[in-house]
């Protein structure tokens, strides 16, 4: 079954690259929704249903960790897998993401294999 | 704790090589690291700047020609770009984010948590950049596809932070 996926990143380049990498990683991609920050992503989730979320952390307006907290606090979205894809490699941020309920954590730069491996148990 | 020029240059070199090999599937050749003053900037091309903050504060930058920026974007996005546009600038910003973000992660092992700003990218001619203060830049030149790319980092202790680290900053800074 094709998955509808939300990609949240302030970089349009990364959103485009992730779409390509998801296909390379043999992920059954359905619709891809894009948001430039957490606020935009929450607005999209109010209107659209997705089966997977990939989110950056460092973003303007609402960062990825705040966004993750809001997703996990909402009964309608709390079970959607959220994988953080970010340059943030500090243990503090990783731990914070895990505590907030992140389903996975991938550091940039990334390969298709790393994305595939991280998504293997989630989809 | 301290970090000297060679160590900082190595972090820059490793991070840049990793980003190019992973995201562009290509090897990049590095040149000799150098030290620069507070006016390190170019006068033409694409400059991407990103701030570092924490117990240590500073800036990371990536500079290249417009042609190199187009080549980076083409490698990143699998699309040809005959001229610099918003997608090219976005790709250079993301390269900067990844390189300096990885340098930051390595620095955090020694100096504790640091924050990274959102990148700012400038494209034009006849401009000048200047870092306020007297911090020196550690730069590493790289060569790819017959073009040059410069990655530079300047760091200084955050005097407002009053951390124990600050007194020892830049021991051996002038050793290369």
Sign of the four-CA dihedral A110, A113, A117, A123: positive
What are the extents of the domains in chain B?
Answer: 5-156
Model confidence, pTM: 0.88
Return the SS3 of B64. Answer: strand
Please write the tens of the pLDDT for every residue from A67-103.
999 999 999 999 999 999 999 888 888 899 999 999 9
Cβ contact A60–B77 (<8 Å): no
- Hey, what are A34's tokens? 């894009």
Please write the tens of the pLDDT for every residue from A1-28.
899 999 999 999 999 999 999 999 899 9
What are the extents of the domains in chain A?
Answer: 3-53+65-110
Residue B98: list chain A partners with CB under 8 A.
87, 108-109
CB B40 within 8 A of CB B139: yes
Query: What is A3-53+65-110's CATH number?
Result: 3.40.50.2300
Question: How crowded is residue B77: how many other Cβ atoms within 10 Å of its Cβ?
Answer: 20
Of B77, B86, B98, Cβ closest to residue A87: B98
CA distance B14 to B66: 24
Instruction: Tell which CATH architecture fits domain B5-156.
Output: 3-Layer(aba) Sandwich (3.40)
- Hey, what are A4's tokens? 């509808």
Per-residue pLDDT band at B164 (split at 50, 70, 90) = very low
How far is the alpha carbon of B37 from chain A, nearest alpha carbon, in Å? 28
């Amino acid at each position: 079954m094709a998955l509808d996926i939300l990609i949240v990143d302030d970089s349009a380049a990364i959103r485009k690259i992730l779409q390509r990498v998801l296909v390379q990683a043999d992920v059954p991609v359905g619709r891809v929704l894009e948001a430039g920050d957490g606020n935009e992503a929450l607005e999209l989730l109010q209107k659209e249903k997705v089966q997977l979320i990939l989110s950056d952390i460092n973003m303007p307006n609402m960062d990825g960790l705040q966004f993750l907290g809001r997703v996990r606090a909402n009964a309608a979205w709390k079970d959607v897998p959220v994988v953080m894809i970010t340059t943030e490699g500090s243990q503090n941020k990783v731990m914070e993401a895990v505590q907030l309920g992140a389903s996975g954590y991938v550091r940039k730069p990334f390969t298709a294999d790393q994305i595939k491996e991280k998504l293997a148990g989630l989809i | 704790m301290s970090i000297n020029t060679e160590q900082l240059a190595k972090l820059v070199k490793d991070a840049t090589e990793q980003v190019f090999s992973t995201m562009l599937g290509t090897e990049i050749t590095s040149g000799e690291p150098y030290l620069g003053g507070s006016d390190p900037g170019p006068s033409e091309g694409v400059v991407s700047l990103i701030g570092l903050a924490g117990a240590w504060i500073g800036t990371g930058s990536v500079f290249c020609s417009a042609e190199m920026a187009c080549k980076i974007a083409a490698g990143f996005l699998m699309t040809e770009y005959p001229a610099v546009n918003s997608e090219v600038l976005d790709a250079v910003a993301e390269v900067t984010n990844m390189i300096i973000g990885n340098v930051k992660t390595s620095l955090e092992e020694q100096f504790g948590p640091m924050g990274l700003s959102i990148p700012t990218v400038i494209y034009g001619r006849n401009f000048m950049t200047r870092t306020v203060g007297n911090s020196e830049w550690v730069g590493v030149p790289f060569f790819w596809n017959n073009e040059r790319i410069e990655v530079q980092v300047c760091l200084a202790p955050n005097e407002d932070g009053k951390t124990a680290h600050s007194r020892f900053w830049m021991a051996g800074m002038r050793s290369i």
